[in-house]
Amino acid sequence: MKKFFTFTMDDNIQFLEDLTTNCSESIFSHPYTKMLKEFHEIYGIKVQLNLFYENPSFNLSKFPETYKEEWQENSSWLKLSFHSKKESPKPYLNSDYQEVYDDCKQVHDEILRFAGEDSLAKTTTIHFTRLTEGGLVALKNCGVQGLIGQYGTEEKPRSSYQNSLEEDAILRTGEIVESNGISYINLDVILDRFTIPEILEQLSALKDRKTIKILIHEQQFYTHHVKYQPEYKDKLKTAFEFLKNNGYESVYFEELLNPSL
């Protein structure tokens, strides 16, 4: 049996602001993206960065087109997607179609401008994984084909988006569910929530599944951030080594929608 894992990173915007402020020569001049490139070269990982449009001091319209060719050259393993307008608890819990559509399109348009079409992912994780029915239609009309959600475990079930309880139960088994033109998968392990031994324990419990989905957030990478985690890089290294040693291949979620896999 072929086995696959997806790796996504939420809440991204800080590294883009830093690259802009520092007039960097390369998108990999930043220690965050430099680390990801090193992991790609060692473990063959594919990375999806889910973006905020803005923070209090920066927005994506300020990011230059200087690196567009470089983004395109690396799009086979590095893609970008819409996450939310900005940091906000459950930003789309009660949002109508138009708000979600406008926010998603705004981020997509900027990605297309500075990184090109090949860099735009066809799937994403919405901040806090909450959307109305209208919000789901808006994403679909923006070209989103798949959503990663949080459905928990049998012991601690959760719901995301507008999936039914029956769909939630199927998603918790690791299967993909398609509903109204959008495919869904369950996020298995959020790496920044666990210690390194706990990460190994979590992954070990899933090692017989065909797919494993892991995620980490950008903020914990930075020493100045209140959520900084000194073990950030080691957590990623631990997860990638475990997955590689257990026969898992890194893919984008959108690749899992290909029936030939």
Domain at 174, CATH number: 3.20.110.20
**Coil, helix or strand at residue 8:** strand
Nearest to 195 by CA among 243, 152, 146, 238: 238
Encode 107-131: b = buried (16+ Cβ within 10 Å), e = exposed.
bbebbeebbbeebbbbbbbbbbbbb
Instruction: Supply the pTM of this predicted model.
Output: 0.97
Tens digit of each residue's pLDDT (9 = 90 or more) over 5-24: 999 999 999 999 999 999 99
Percent of the chain topping pLDDT 70: 100
Task: Write out the residue range of the structural domain in which residue 89 sits.
Answer: 3-256
Q: At residue 247, does pLDDT exceed 80?
A: yes
| pLDDT the model gives residue 17 | 98
Residue 88 maps to a domain: yes
C-alpha distances in Å from residue 17, one per residue of 13, 23, 58, 82? 6, 10, 6, 16
How far apart are the C-alpha atoms of 151 and 129, rounded to whole Å?
A: 10
Spell out the residues 6+ positions from residue 113 whose beta carbon is closer than 8 angstroms to its own. 65
Q: In what order do the strands lie in the sheet with 177-179?
A: 123-124, 146-149, 182-186, 177-179
48 occurs within a structural domain? yes
Task: Name the domain count of the chain.
Answer: 1
Average pLDDT taken over every residue of the chain: 97
Note whether residue 261 is domain-resident. no
Q: Is residue 40 part of a domain?
A: yes
